[in-house]
Amino acid sequence: MKLTTQEQEMLDGKYGKAVRKAMEILTTLGEIFNADRMVDVSSVQIAGVSYDNLGEAGLEFLNDMAEDGKVRVLTTLNPVGMDRENWQFFGIDQDFAKNQNCVINAFAKMGVIPTCSCTPYLIGNTPHFGQHLAWAESSAVCYANSVIGARTNREGGPSALASAITGKTANYGYHLDENRYGKVIFKINTIIKGTDQFGLLGKKIGDILVKEGKKIPYITGIDSATIEDLKSFCASIATYGGTALFHMEGITPEYNKYPKPKIKIFEIKQIDLDKVRSELIDDDIDVDFISIGCPHASIHEIEQIASMLKGKRVKKEFWITTARSTKKVADEAGYSKIIEDAGAKFASDMCCVVAPIRGRFKGMMADSAKACYYGRVKNNFKIKIGSIEECIIEATK
Ligand code: F3S
């Protein structure tokens, strides 16, 4: 791989220990994936930052990097394992909170903004078409590549941090035109509406792609999709299919940049989605927990929830996971008061997957196919998918 003079100096240690370590990580990845050079990144999103995932070894690595490491580009953080202001309220134990704060402090020392959200594109880390990024968090990666038309690989925590500290990433994978072509067509022959249905579609396509060898899907037949629909779809197709990029005819910006694939067409009908829905509803579920906000809820979703909950009372534990900055907008708009008066809770900075809540509930209902996957696999909950409206009916009955 060809390095510029400055990149070589970074590797040689002229810019300090953390920069050298970061450049070692990036050049190693570049060699493995046959990159020709480095490219400058305009922003970074770091994931895998719950103390639940990192443990003591991860924290040690971060403290080491924070000794002399400073980020060179806009860098934001994924959800952590707790609400930073109200962790006791959510039953998080003191030792976990102490360790989680050490993780956040190490990132903050390096200049990472502790946004603690998986929707950086909704809260200021908003790239534009064609920019190179180094983002971790599979749902956000898929959104950045597909919906925005920016370019990022699915980074891991250490490689994303390495890019933040150097402002560089190796030029391979989704940074290259040749790897962004759609390879398999999905023709949707039914109307898809709402976050739950887009999640079901993501699972259906994702499941097929796993068998097809994880090719980039080119999707036709969708008339319209909101930002919330697309964020749900991205989270689902990334979870079930490992997909980091798709094209959607008439919706995503690169759908007509590359020629439409001529090979294999899969048709998806209502009956297919009904089957997926039944796979995401456990027979003997007794719902005691409702979770909305995977990926983190937008202000528009919060506004919808407030209007549906107005004057009602939830009878089950009800969490809305969102970015703290979005919650502040909801406070200003008066939505938070309506929601909290109804007995629902905002869980900022965290989500029901990265927080240590295994065993805390028996049956979880969510509008997100991704939340259902991890609720079942990681937290051992029985699960049920439904629209936001159905979640609210379940919570208030
Ligand atoms: Fe975000 Fe957690 Fe879902 S990180 S995408 S809310 S699993």
For residue range 162-172, what is the model confidence (pLDDT) as tens digits?
Answer: 999 999 999 99
Quote the pLDDT of residue 91: 84
Residues 6+ away with beta carbon under 8 Å from 121? 127, 140, 143, 144, 148
Average pLDDT over residues 109-129: 98
Best mutation site among 49, 292, 324, 353 for ligand 1 pocket (most ligand atoms within 8 Å of CB): 353
Distance 319 CA to ligand 1 centre (A): 13
Distance 207 CA to ligand 1 centre (A): 20
Best mutation site among 77, 234, 294, 358 for ligand 1 pocket (most ligand atoms within 8 Å of CB): 294
Quote the pLDDT of residue 90: 85
Atom of ligand 1 nearest to the CA of 119: 1
Q: Return the minimum-mean-pLDDT range out of 23-32, 45-54, 144-153, 364-373.
A: 45-54
Torsional sign, CA 375, 380, 384, 389: negative
Residues 6+ away with beta carbon under 8 Å from 274? none
Burial of 197 per CB tally in 10 Å (0-12, 13-18, 19+):
buried
pLDDT above 80 for 261:
no
Residues 6+ away with beta carbon under 8 Å from 273? 190, 192, 197, 200, 201, 204
CA distance 214 to 174: 14
From the centroid of its chain, how far is CA 45? 10
Distance 165 CA to ligand 1 centre (A): 25
Quote the pLDDT of residue 212: 87
Whether 76 and 112 have beta carbons less than 8 Å apart is answered as yes
pLDDT above 80 for 300:
yes
Among the listed residues 374, 387, 390, the one whose alpha carbon sits nearest the alpha carbon of residue 200: 387
pLDDT tens digit string along 70-103? 999 999 999 999 999 999 988 888 999 999 999 9
Average pLDDT over residues 223-243: 98
Q: Give one DSSP letter per residue of 328-347, joined into a string.
A: HHHHHHTHHHHHHHTT-EEE
Atom of ligand 1 nearest to the CA of 354: 2
Atom of ligand 1 nearest to the CA of 352: 2
Quote the pLDDT of residue 117: 98
Quote the pLDDT of residue 356: 82
pLDDT above 80 for 259:
no
Quote the pLDDT of residue 15: 98
Quote the pLDDT of residue 76: 98
Whether 134 and 140 have beta carbons less than 8 Å apart is answered as no
User: Facing residues of 154 across strands?
Assistant: 135
Quote the pLDDT of residue 257: 86
Q: What are phi and psi of 364, to 5 degrees?
A: -110, 130
pLDDT above 80 for 278:
yes
Residue 25's pLDDT band (cuts 50, 70, 90): very high
Atom of ligand 1 nearest to the CA of 321: 6
Q: Indicate the SS3 state at residue 178.
A: helix
pLDDT above 80 for 396:
yes
Quote the pLDDT of residue 53: 86
CA distance 77 to 211: 32
* Ligand 1 pocket, Cβ-based, cut-off 6 angstroms: 78-79, 118, 139, 235, 294-296, 321, 351, 353-354, 370-371, 374
Best mutation site among 82, 236, 354 for ligand 1 pocket (most ligand atoms within 8 Å of CB): 354
Percent of the chain residues topping a pLDDT of 90:
92
CA distance 379 to 382: 9
CA distance 190 to 103: 45
Report the alpha-carbon angle 214-219-223, nearest 5.
Answer: 155
CA count, 13 A, side-chain hemisphere, 342: 27
Distance 295 CA to ligand 1 centre (A): 5
Average pLDDT in the chain:
96
CA distance 208 to 148: 24
Quote the pLDDT of residue 50: 92
Quote the pLDDT of residue 288: 97
pLDDT tens digit string along 176-226? 999 999 989 999 999 999 999 999 999 999 999 999 888 899 999 999 999
> Residue 377 belongs to what H/E stretch?
helix 369-377
Residue 263's pLDDT band (cuts 50, 70, 90): confident
Distance 190 CA to ligand 1 centre (A): 27
Percent of the chain residues topping a pLDDT of 70:
99
pLDDT above 90 for 292:
yes
Average pLDDT over residues 275-301: 97
Residue 343's pLDDT band (cuts 50, 70, 90): very high
Q: Which two tokens stand for residue 77?
A: 């953080």
Quote the pLDDT of residue 143: 98
CA distance 214 to 240: 10
Distance 283 CA to ligand 1 centre (A): 25
Distance 352 CA to ligand 1 centre (A): 8
Nearest CA to ligand 1 atom 5: 295
